[in-house]
């Protein structure tokens, strides 16, 4: 079945499209087999979140847009899952916030990086970084720490969707402002981020772009407010509370504040130490 053959009125349409894109990414040599496993993990969390954008994830997307618009050298990091799931949406976001796009792979091969760069160009990217590999993220081994010197190494703000926890922590140690998109609020990467967006990449990237377009002509004070009014710990707690509430959530459901507060209080116990992953 091709993507266009999936019936739009199917109750699990979005999920089926996502699966199809990841499968096509593997076939095209841009997504790794580990990427399939990461997708499965993400799907499970999305199911528990009710496959919707929580109000706190929307606030995170707005804070992310304001942060990117205020950045000097913003970079969007693209791995095999991002390239398969949202190539055109990533290029749109890069245009809206004037950011560079850099291929950055956990399981790096030159061949896969080149294919991803080509795939992004097919979806409208002018310039794609990540093929020079002349920079590094200190504290990581060569394979995982290689980046472009004039890309991620020099960036002040990086968007790292579906990032590995070690690399998120190493980027944080370099002093980068990190925006992480990840469906698991217990994963190390969003817990390290300045702006964790707990949402499906497929919904989050266009949402950040929409907020960026809305904030493009906003005053510095309005942008500052979007950043300052966002509370990362609260957003993680709200997502966790929604997940604990389970799969019966509907898009209109609010997560009561006391539940979010309870979740925050017991966060360490319930989420557990993910550092061994
Ligand atoms: P960490 O090292 O930070 O603890 P992890 O071991 O949980 O990370 P992986 O197993 O590599 O990370 O999984 C990738 C992460 O990407 C998971 O947290 C998963 O929820 C998330 N993910 C997968 N697909 C999507 C998607 N479409 N949108 C957002 N997040 C996703």
**First and final CA of the chain: distance in angstroms?**
35
Q: Cβ distance 200 to 57 under 8 Å?
A: no
Q: What are the DSSP calls for 150-219, one per residue?
A: TTTTT-SEEEEET--HHHHHHHHHTT-EEEEE-S-TTSHHHHH-SEEE-S-HHHHHHHHHHHHHHHTT--
Instruction: Show the ligand 1 pocket: residues with CB < 6 angstroms.
Output: 38-39, 41-42, 45, 85, 162, 164-165, 181-184, 187-189, 200-202, 274, 277
Structure tokens at 215: 């904030």
H and E: helices and strands count for the chain? 14, 7
**CATH code of the domain made up of 1-277:** 3.40.50.12640
Does residue 253 surpass a pLDDT of 80?
no
Could you tell me the distance, in angstroms and rounded to a whole number, from the CA of residue 45 to the centre of ligand 1? 9
Q: Can you give the pLDDT at residue 108?
A: 82
d(CA 66, CA 58): 12
Q: Can you give the pLDDT at residue 258?
A: 55
Could you tell me the distance, in angstroms and rounded to a whole number, from the CA of residue 190 to the centre of ligand 1? 10
Domain borders along the chain are 1-277
Confidence of residue 269 (pLDDT cuts 50, 70, 90): very low
253-258: average pLDDT: 53
d(CA 261, CA 196): 18
Confidence of residue 184 (pLDDT cuts 50, 70, 90): very high
Could you tell me the distance, in angstroms and rounded to a whole number, from the CA of residue 71 to the centre of ligand 1? 26
d(CA 187, CA 274): 6
pLDDT tens digits for range 48-94 = 999 999 999 999 999 999 999 999 999 999 999 999 999 999 999 99
pLDDT tens digits for range 5-56 = 777 877 778 888 899 999 999 999 999 999 999 999 999 999 999 999 999 9
d(CA 212, CA 216): 6
């Amino acid at each position: 079945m091709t993507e266009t053959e999936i019936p739009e009125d199917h109750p699990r349409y979005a999920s089926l499209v996502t699966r199809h894109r990841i499968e096509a990414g593997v076939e095209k040599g841009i997504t790794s087999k580990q990427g399939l496993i990461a997708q499965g993990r993400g799907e499970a969390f999305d199911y528990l979140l009710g496959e919707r954008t929580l109000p706190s994830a929307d606030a995170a997307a707005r804070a992310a847009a304001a942060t990117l618009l205020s950045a000097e050298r913003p970079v969007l990091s693209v791995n095999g899952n991002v390239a398969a799931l949202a190539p055109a949406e990533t290029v749109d976001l890069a245009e809206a916030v004037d950011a560079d796009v850099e291929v950055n792979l956990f399981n790096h091969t030159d061949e896969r990086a080149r294919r991803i760069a080509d795939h992004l160009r097919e979806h409208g990217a002018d310039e794609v970084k990540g093929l020079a590999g002349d920079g590094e993220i200190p504290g990581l081994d060569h394979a995982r720490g290689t980046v472009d010197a004039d890309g991620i190494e020099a960036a002040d703000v990086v968007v790292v969707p579906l990032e590995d926890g070690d690399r998120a922590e190493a980027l944080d140690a370099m002093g980068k402002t990190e925006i992480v998109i990840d469906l698991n609020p217990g994963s190390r990467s969003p817990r390290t981020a300045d702006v964790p967006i707990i949402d499906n990449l497929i919904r989050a990237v266009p949402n950040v772009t929409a907020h960026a377009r809305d904030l493009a002509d906003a005053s510095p004070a309005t942008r500052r407010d979007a950043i300052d009014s966002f509370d990362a710990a609260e957003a993680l707690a709200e997502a966790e509370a929604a997940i604990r509430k389970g799969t019966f959530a509907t898009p209109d459901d609010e997560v009561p504040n006391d539940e979010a507060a309870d979740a925050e209080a017991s966060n360490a116990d319930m989420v557990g130490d993910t550092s061994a992953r």
